[in-house]
Structure 1
Amino acid sequence: MSDLTLGIPRAIARSRGSRFAGSQRAGTYAFLLLVSLVFLIPLAVILLTAVKPMAEIRAGSIFLPPMAPTLEPFAKAWSSACTGLSCNGVSAGFWNSVRIVVPSVLLSVLAGAITGYALAQWRFRGADLIMTALMLGAFIPYQVILYPIVRIFSTLSLYNSLAGIITIHVLFGLPVMTLIFRNFYVGLPVELVKAARVDGAGFFRIFFSIMLPMSRNILVVAMIMQFTSIWNDYLLGLIFAGRDNLPMTVQLNNIVNSTMGEVEYNVNMAATLLTALPPLLVYFLSGRYFVSGITAGAVKG
């Protein structure tokens, strides 16, 4: 049989394979486009509604661009929208969220890094038991234990206080942070710790001088995760923060669910965007470190 005769089936097979690969690629793109639309269409509606006057919203043109775009809903949502009896907008909730998020993120990430480093590089009796307990704590729904915690915090005079809501976020973030940092530090050479011990360095000296400088990417990953989780929290802030420290998500709920007067959908959507903006900015500003941390093994065990 000649080479020409053998080459015909091979060419046909290659042609079929190319068509199949092209169809598979087109199907993948179509699926990704469909998934993107599921998220982008609601976002587009929110954006369009936030910059429309109420007259256009009442006309029912939900998907049409605004004829007379305005930023007045954002100004009202920030400074004068009513959240219950107070009409100060979400600005007060924004600063409350900042006061809650900054110390909560720093303390929970630092505590998780130290605990993960201890479990990964300083083996001691009972380490596996502690790790198991932390794993269980990471996957137990916190709604199950809210009432006992409320009772404990009331006894300790931490309930309805800024210190209380910060403490609760640190405690609930510790299992996941420990697991992330422990998996990261396990991958580092143990010889680094042994050499530092020989030179007389102790636990914290090794951690702050050697381990922490090597953890830039994983620190960014942990901070983004904690910032997003704490900023978007509603239930814990509602229960533990107290009336004077209600975070932005609680203020947003009070604006959207207000039953007094006219429902201003543009103001509601503007308040929603203002509340969602900080986590988005944090991710966009440090997103490349987030991806680098994950690809470097930040969340694999």
Structure 2
Amino acid sequence: MSRSIVPAATAPALPLSDTPDANARGPRPKTVGIGRVGLYAFLVIAASFFLLPAVVMVLTSLKTMDEIRLGSIFALPLSLDFSAWVSAWSSACTGLNCDGIRVGFWNSVKILVPSVFFSIAAGAIVGYALSFWRVKGANVLFAVLLIGAFMPYQVFIYPMVRTFSAVGIYNSLACIVIIHVIFGLPIMTLLFRNFYAGLPQELFNAARVDGAGFWRIFAHVMLPMSTPILIVAAILQITHIWNDFILGLVFAGRENLPMTVQLNNVVNSTYGERAYNLNMAATILTAAVPLVVYFVSGRWFVRGIAAGAVKG
């Protein structure tokens, strides 16, 4: 006996306008509540609070001293005058020398480049070793590094001055670079150790099975995946080292004083009337490098944090 096959009933297709959209968003609220108004008001006040000093600095640096004396601090300059910027860069006096703040800029560059490279390299290697190789006493070493990350610099200054003096490299470029590497090692180790701890253990095990050793795994497996955390570490170290004052003042030596120390000398080297426009221009020039770093790579900094910089 033959059976007739009845096709299964199919659901009617929804109209195109009724098809649910996975990316559709809910409707915008038609009314603005008190909470939203308060939120925007708080954001505007907070932004104004932080931007106001920067606006005053820029306006003051573009005015002549006559305008500064007779006008309001928030008044716009009658004409843009960049002479204070030129003087701050090339002819401002830092004590007895009147070569401008450019000397400190190039000193800061000489300090910054090797300090950032070696501190990040040391932190990446130590963090990788603590994450995968399980050396004896790794937890104790990591705890000591964490304690060192939160200890104030002033505790170590005098012992390190005596140590570097005994070695014979005190007040030199090598001395200040080593200092920045030492003080940057704890936080760099913390960042890289937490990042590597979030990577799959199977990658490390597979490389070990293939016969790769410590350095080969690090160079060919771990380092290519470390781009996000490398960017985070570079931003943190560039900002920290460039803005440093006390370590550069104590350990760099007179020939290698960084830009922050030179800025202090410019502001305090006053003969007669204090040139507020020159001081403001020198301050902005000193802060230019960290500002540029944040504006250019701020997006990468957020991506690096989201990729695992605070895991662990």
Aligned to 2:50: 39
Displacement of 1:118 after TM fit?
0.6
Tell me how far apart the structure 2 counterparts of residues 300 and 59 of structure 1 sit (CA, whole Å).
Answer: 55
Aligned to 1:10: none
Aligned ranges 1:77-226 → 2 under 5 Å = 77-226=88-237
Larger Rg over CA atoms? 2
Question: Which residue identity is paired with 2:75?
Answer: L
Aligned to 1:251: 262
Tell me how far apart the structure 1 counterparts of residues 194 and 112 of structure 2 sit (CA, whole Å).
Answer: 25
- Identify unmatched segments of 5+ residues in structure 1: 1-16
Deviations 1:226-248 (A, max 9, x none): 00000000000000000000000
Displacement of 1:262 after TM fit?
2.1
Deviations 1:67-108 (A, max 9, x none): 021111111000000000100111000000000000000100
Query: Which segments of structure 1 move beyond 3 Å, counting only runs of 4 or more?
Result: none
- Identify unmatched segments of 5+ residues in structure 2: 1-28
Pair 1:51-2:98 in alignment: no
Native 8 Å contact 1:53 1:69 kept in 2 = no
Displacement of 1:202 after TM fit?
0.8
Give the secondary structure class of the aligned counterpart of 1:244. helix
Question: Which residue identity is paired with 1:295?
Answer: A
Aligned to 1:285: 296
Native 8 Å contact 1:81 1:88 kept in 2 = yes
- The percentage of aligned residue pairs carrying the same residue is 62
Tell me how far apart the structure 2 counterparts of residues 86 and 116 of structure 1 sit (CA, whole Å).
Answer: 44
Residue 283 of structure 2, aligned match among 272, 280, 283: 272
Aligned to 1:24: 35
CA RMSD of aligned residues (A): 1.3
Deviations 1:170-215 (A, max 9, x none): 0000000000000000000111111111111111111111111101
Native 8 Å contact 1:162 1:241 kept in 2 = yes
Deviations 1:52-71 (A, max 9, x none): 11110011321010002111
Tell me how far apart the structure 1 counterparts of residues 50 and 117 of structure 2 sit (CA, whole Å).
Answer: 31
Which structure: greater helix fraction?
A: 1
Deviations 1:234-278 (A, max 9, x none): 000000000000000000000111232321100000000000001
Aligned length: 284
